[in-house]
Amino acid sequence: MSIAKVILLSRIKTKLPRGKTNECIILANGPSLRKTLNEKLDFIVRGDKEIFAVNYFINSPFYEKVKPAYYILNAPEFWIDTTTDMHKQNRKKLFTDLIAKTTWDMKIFVPFEAGKTELWKNLFDENRHLSVVYYNKTPVEGLQSVSNFLFKLNLGMPRPYNVLVPAIFLALNMGFKTIYLFGADHSWHEEIKVDENNNVLVNHEHFYDNSKQVKPMYHLDGKEYYIHDIFRKLHLAFKGYFVLKEYAKTLDAKILNASEKSYIDAFEKIKI
């Protein structure tokens, strides 16, 4: 089934840029990243590791201090027309800020689906520092050996239910041998609530927020998630990290989880 998906959905000729160093840092946006950036910024910006940022990292004042080399977007609300007004407003601000604030060369990674839309045509032409790299987000599952073969060809990846999955996958295929993770809390389940009206509420807090963001999760069509939807999504995300761990071994690479707090149990945890 995965091979069929690849044939139908993936762009066959896909080439990723090569990393300029052997090590990289991926900054996820969990609340613990706030402490990391305040206390360990020197380790992050000292220049011997290239930096990946994801989603709305640009909302933080640290964006222009960190100067990421790569910026990963994965969710369909960054390009589809049928998403909610809230998502459209958020992405418009994201694009405007990327153009206005980026004064260094940076590559923005987004799935091939985005490149087929009018929204993404010539989107960043105003800023010569920004360039777009397209990738296949086709979910690949099944035998690890077959999956690894398709992974190496950039034809698919573990189910990208969280942006950290494509971030790690792209870093591996760009040739990085040591990948440090920060802010990968993945602790949403701690504060899942079901209110008296059976609305499922989740804390969506990120490190750049001033307070907790307790609200429902929404599908692209605006419908709310049920609790079984949320746990299924979490299951697939956490499972994907073990697939990436095994794939990293075939590349002689290692993924180190240096997050101040993290529920990801696939990768070796370290302290900086």
CA dihedral 48, 254, 10, 220 (to 10 degrees): -80
Compute the average pLDDT of residues 194-205.
86
The pLDDT of residue 221: 67
Q: What letter represents residue 137's amino acid?
A: K
End-to-end, the C-alpha distance of the chain in Å comes to 42
Q: Is the pLDDT of residue 150 over 90?
A: yes
The percentage of the chain sitting over the pLDDT mark of 70, rounded to a whole number, equals 99
For the chain, give the secondary structure using H, E and C.
CHHHHHHHHCCCCCCCCCCCCCEEEEECCCCCHHHHHHHCHHHHHCCCCEEEEECCHHHCCCHHHHCCCEEECCCHHHCCCCCCHHHHHHHHHHHHHHHHHCCCCEEEEEEHHHHCCCCCCCCCCCCCCEEEEEECCCECCCCHHHHHHHHHCCCCECCCCCCHHHHHHHHHHCCCCEEEEECCCCCHHHHCEECCCCCEEEECCCCCCCCCCEECCECCCCCECCHHHHHHHHHHHHHHHHHHHHHHHHCCCEEEECCCCCCCCCCEECCC
The pLDDT of residue 220: 66
Residue 69 tokens read as 């080399």
pLDDT in tens, 34-47: 999 999 999 999 99
Q: Is the pLDDT of residue 204 over 80?
A: no
The pLDDT of residue 239: 94
d(CA 139, CA 141): 7
The pLDDT of residue 245: 97
pLDDT in tens, 59-87: 999 999 999 999 999 999 999 987 778 88
pLDDT in tens, 244-266: 999 999 999 999 999 999 999 99
Which backbone phi and psi does 7 adopt, to 5 degrees?
-60, -40
Q: Is the pLDDT of residue 213 over 80?
A: no
Q: Is 118 exposed, middle or buried (0-12, 13-18, 19+ CB in 10 A)?
A: exposed
Q: Is the pLDDT of residue 165 over 90?
A: yes
Task: Report residue 24's pLDDT band, with 50, 70 and 90 as the boundaries.
Answer: very high
Q: For the chain, which residues make up each domain, given as ranges?
A: 2-187+237-269
The number of residues in the chain equals: 272
